[in-house]
Amino acid sequence: MKILITAGPTREFFDPVRYISNRSSGKMGYALARAARRYGQVTLVSGPVALKPPAGVEFVPVTTAAEMAREVFRRYRQTDLVIMAAAVCDYRPSKKARGKIKKSRLDIGLTLELKPTTDILAELGRRKTRQRLVGFAAETDRLVANAREKLQRKNLDMIVANPVQAMEADTNRVTLLYADGRVEPLPEMPKSKLARQIMRRVNALRT
Ligand code: CTP
């Protein structure tokens, strides 16, 4: 089985040194990559994080959402399972200044105009043939309802719903939602253990 896992945040630049991003640490995605090795050949497409890539996986470092999209799309046809654990930025600055933006001497504010990035997972859902697709949903409220909506809209086989508090933490308490309507809450546990539990269930989804 060929497994593609994404992890970490993306960075969206508005000048050569400044970007917008999010709090993702990559811990969940890296734990999944580690746990997935026993099920097949693993590729880890990762945004910038402070973690060491696990041994025995193909490691593809990326920075922006556009780069992540490119690396994921070019591998999709040969892939059996995609797990999108990355916290892909939903928006990027509309313009990237060529030089470093100078602070205005007039001390006026600076407005950043943003435009949406490609929703990688939704696009994978549209192009799905034999692949199994697993997404993550980070929510502050209405966890299960919002996750179910994403599961359906993005044509996923399973979604891992977690409260945003799990970002940066070493443990996570998730609820798994399946395409067939099943909802499975799991107890709080270390991300390493959770990764093994998720992989076991994803593997059982095999058609
Ligand atoms: N995702 C993606 N490409 C994006 C944004 C998100 O592939 N541009 C994926 C994430 O990797 C995750 C899933 O979509 O697996 C859900 O991400 P989330 O941010 O929770 O949902 P959004 O669709 O961005 O919706 P919202 O931000 O409104 O909650």
Q: What domains can be seen in the chain, in order of their start residue?
A: 2-204 (3.40.50.10300)
Element (H, E) at 185: strand 183-185
Is the CB–ligand 1 distance for residue 137 below 6 Å? yes
What the block records as the tokens of 58 is: 């193909």
Q: β-strand 158-163 against 132-139: which pairing, if any?
A: parallel
Q: 156 and 135 in contact (C-beta within 8 Å)? A: yes
Nearest-Å Rg of the Cα atoms of the chain is 18
Is the CB–ligand 1 distance for residue 69 below 6 Å? no
Is the CB–ligand 1 distance for residue 136 below 6 Å? yes
**Distance, first Cα to last Cα, the chain:** 12
User: Quick one: which atom of ligand 1 is closest to the CA of 89?
Assistant: 8
Tell me the per-residue pLDDT of 94-129, one tens digit each, with 9 for 90 and over: 999 999 998 877 778 889 999 999 999 999 999 999
User: What are φ and ψ of residue 14, in 5° steps?
Assistant: -120, -5
Atom 21 of ligand 1: nearest residue by CA position = 137
Is the CB–ligand 1 distance for residue 19 below 6 Å? no
Q: Residue 186 Cα, ligand 1 centroid: separation in angstroms?
A: 21
146 noted as active-site residue: no
* Total Cβ atoms within 10 A of residue 192: 16
pLDDT computed for residue 207 by the predictor: 58
- Residue among 24, 119, 128, 142 whose CB has most ligand 1 atoms within 8 A, to mutate: 119
- Across the chain, mean pLDDT equals 96
Is the CB–ligand 1 distance for residue 84 below 6 Å? yes
Is pLDDT at 144 greater than 70 in this prediction? yes
| pTM for the full predicted model | 0.96
Q: Quick one: which of 176, 79, 180 has its CA closest to 131?
A: 79
Tell me the per-residue pLDDT of 155-181, one tens digit each, with 9 for 90 and over: 999 999 998 888 889 999 999 999 999
Tell me the per-residue pLDDT of 26-82, one tens digit each, with 9 for 90 and over: 999 999 999 999 999 999 999 999 999 999 999 999 999 999 999 999 999 999 999
Residue the block writes with tokens 């499975």: 184
Helix (H, G, I), strand (E, B) or coil at 70: helix
